[in-house]
Chain A
Amino acid sequence: MSNNVDKTPDSKSHDSSRRQFIGYGAAAMAGLAIAPGITLFDLAHGRAPEEAASSKVRWGMLIDSGKCATGCNDCVSACGKENGFSGSRETDSQWIRKVEIKDLRNGQSHSLPMMCQHCEHPPCVDVCPTGASFKRADGIVLVDRHICIGCRYCMMACPYKARSFVHEELQDQNPDVPRGKGCVEACTLCVHRVDRGGQPACADACSAAGHNAILFGDLNDPNSEISKRVATLATTQVRGDLGLNVGVRYQGI
């Protein structure tokens, strides 16, 4: 039997390399087994500031208009509080608004929040002359306040009227959400919260109110609640005819 054969120094080293191989193999297997867990843990707890956003993730929201109560404005108030704006004059910023829609054919009404739809192919990014409007790798559409020249072409291009222009000097800003007179802005999907592992303020507020109409999550992760619901329920992309593949989906309209 080979087991009884005297081991030469050569065969000893061969054995040890085999053991090493098995050891590495086991470590690799263990790594593979727990990697998704680690990834999920990472995503759930945000990412390090020096780490770039990843296209492995696509952040999105699913809004159930059946659960969204007419007259409830909690998501709008929470967004204003989080991002530092208020007011509903024609010149005031509104990153999110409640829209009441009524089907003219059958009289059915729905109430739903409308905000930046974080398109995969955002028209605002296409038209922006300086590249200030951009889409992050994880699907969040943002405005770089340093290179926005305030031409407002993105506002002309957005099919959702999701963008606002800052018409006057601002006071008492949230340091997490820099805003500035003369620049265009829109829902950031509370990127500052998401990067720390949280979720948008509107989604939190909706849950706190007990409506749970706004579900936030990773559309790229087949195991996420949002992906499962998008895969099984009839959901709608607003102005789906434009083929923009939006990150915000609606249910019940």
Chain B
Amino acid sequence: MNIDAFRKIEERAFYALAALLGLVVLIGLGAAHYMETHGHVVTGMTNQIVWGLPHVFAVFMIVAASGVLNVASIGSVFGKPVYKARAPLSALLAIALLAGGLTVLMLDLGRPDRLIVAMTHFNFKSIFALNVILYTGFFAIVAAYIWTMMDRKVKGFSKYAGFSAFIWRLALTTATGSIFGFLVARQAYSSAILAPMFIIMSFSYGLAVFIVVQSFMYAWNGLTLDEAILRRMKNLLATFVGAVFYFTIVYHMTNLYFAKQWDFERFILLDGGIFTTLFWVGQIAIGTLIPLAMLLHPTLGINSKSVLFSALLIILGGFAQLYVIIIGGQAFPLSIFPGMQETSTFFDGAIHHYNPSLPEFLLGLGGIGIALLITTIAVRILHFVPQDDFHHVSKDALTD
């Protein structure tokens, strides 16, 4: 095939993909409109489960947004050339994912029309308000970072911009974890460990998302990822997955040590129905053990398809983990009278049930559509396909 014919097909494919993603976004917006006009009564959310599926999608994207920037940070802050070549794509994905996540979060508000209120009224004691500032700042810093990477005149500032973005993203994920960590009354939360746990979750989800997008882009352009790069990235991914596993164990072991937390742990680990299944099958088996085994396997670990498959499993496991944390954490009843059995018309003392509705799912999917649409368009306009022209770099520089 000559290059002109390839370009023609590629252009058509681009427009088809952009149209498809645009449709997903439109469906998501339609779902949000439906939820807003009818009220949250059309969702599965209740006065017991107040944050539902949209929060799972939104938190995943926000956490992954800060994590996906790690690729750029390793390049700029720690000076690794393999990652430096991927820094623009990494920064772009960070902005795209954050935009997708925040859109979902905003459209799930009871009053999304009051966005301007959220941007003009701040209660600085609220970690939520702090997050609004951190998210806005993240957009600005990462945009500046991209600018320093693209404009030769300001390239000298790239390292500083990268460093600022790295510090900022740590603060951002700390604050995201603290949204839950600061909830003193709920047994699933109220723990300082959630902040570092969310940071390590972001490393894992972010890199997994990066590998998926990168694989897709290489396949799209008919390129093959260098095996050395693949090996480095999958080793790093395995390390992050292992670290999330470690934090998960510490979180549950700490709870198991406190007698007052036993009932909650029994719920999540043994008899919590869907949450127990999602924990063991979703988070632990699909999201942790299987991808770890594949990534560390001597032959599967260097096969680009199986690395891609592992990254997809890690993303699925991430969703399962957030579902257990966010919805499972609310499903377990508040202990208002510790040591007492409680019953009421407001479902005190009872396990709360949640049946996610289609509009919620479509809204979440719409957020992913936004992230991918931004990425697809920006990659094409800005030519953010990683350029691996590092063969002249000494072998010593190619460390993980």
Could you tell me the distance in whole angstroms from the C-beta of A125 to the nearest C-beta in chain B? Answer: 8
New contact pairs (18) apart from A99-B348, A150-B111, A150-B114, CB-CB < 8 Å: A91-B41, A99-B337, A101-B340, A103-B340, A128-B123, A129-B131, A130-B129, A148-B111, A149-B112, A150-B110, A151-B128, A156-B51, A160-B334, A161-B346, A167-B46, A168-B40, A168-B41, A184-B110
Cβ of A181 < 8 Å from any Cβ of B? yes
Cβ-defined contact, A129 with B132, below 8 A: yes
Cβ-defined contact, A126 with B39, below 8 A: no
Residues 15-72 of B contacting A (Cβ, < 8 Å): 36, 38-41, 45-48, 50-51
Could you tell me the distance in whole angstroms from the C-beta of A240 to the nearest C-beta in chain B? Answer: 10
Chain B positions within 8 Å of A104 at CB level: 339-341
Could you tell me the distance in whole angstroms from the C-beta of A104 to the nearest C-beta in chain B? Answer: 6
Q: How many residues of B contact A (CB 8 A)?
A: 51
Could you tell me the distance in whole angstroms from the C-beta of B187 to the nearest C-beta in chain A? Answer: 11
5 CB contacts below 8 A, A to B, read: A90-B48, A161-B336, A163-B47, A167-B45, A168-B41
Residues 100-147 of B contacting A (Cβ, < 8 Å): 109-112, 114-115, 117-118, 121-123, 125-129, 131-132
Chain A positions within 8 Å of B111 at CB level: 148-150, 182-183
Cβ-defined contact, B39 with A166, below 8 A: yes
Cβ of B184 < 8 Å from any Cβ of A? yes
Bound CA–CA A124/B40 (angstroms)? 21
Measured CB to CB, the residues of A under 8 A from B are 76, 88, 90-94, 97-105, 114, 123, 125-132, 147-153, 155-161, 163-169, 181-184, 238-239, 242, 253
Could you tell me the distance in whole angstroms from the C-beta of A119 to the nearest C-beta in chain B? Answer: 11
Bound CA–CA A145/B253 (angstroms)? 42
Chain A positions within 8 Å of B343 at CB level: 99-100
Residues 302-350 of B contacting A (Cβ, < 8 Å): 330, 334, 336-348
Q: When A130-B118, A183-B111 are in contact, do A123 and B342 touch as well, CB less than 8 Å? A: no
Q: When A129-B128, A130-B117 are in contact, do A159 and B344 touch as well, CB less than 8 Å? A: no
Chain B positions within 8 Å of A125 at CB level: 123
Cβ-defined contact, B330 with A156, below 8 A: yes
Chain B positions within 8 Å of A94 at CB level: 47, 345-346
Bound CA–CA A165/B186 (angstroms)? 18
Cβ of B381 < 8 Å from any Cβ of A? no
Chain A positions within 8 Å of B123 at CB level: 125, 128-131
Give the nearest-CB partner of B39 in chain A: A168
- Closest 3 A-B residue pairs measured CB to CB? A150-B110, A182-B110, A159-B185
Cβ of B183 < 8 Å from any Cβ of A? yes
Cβ-defined contact, B184 with A129, below 8 A: no
Could you tell me the distance in whole angstroms from the C-beta of B247 to the nearest C-beta in chain A? Answer: 22
Which one, A97, A105, A238, contacts B344 given CB within 8 A? A97
Cβ-defined contact, A161 with B128, below 8 A: no
Could you tell me the distance in whole angstroms from the C-beta of A246 to the nearest C-beta in chain B? Answer: 12
Chain B positions within 8 Å of A152 at CB level: 50-51, 110
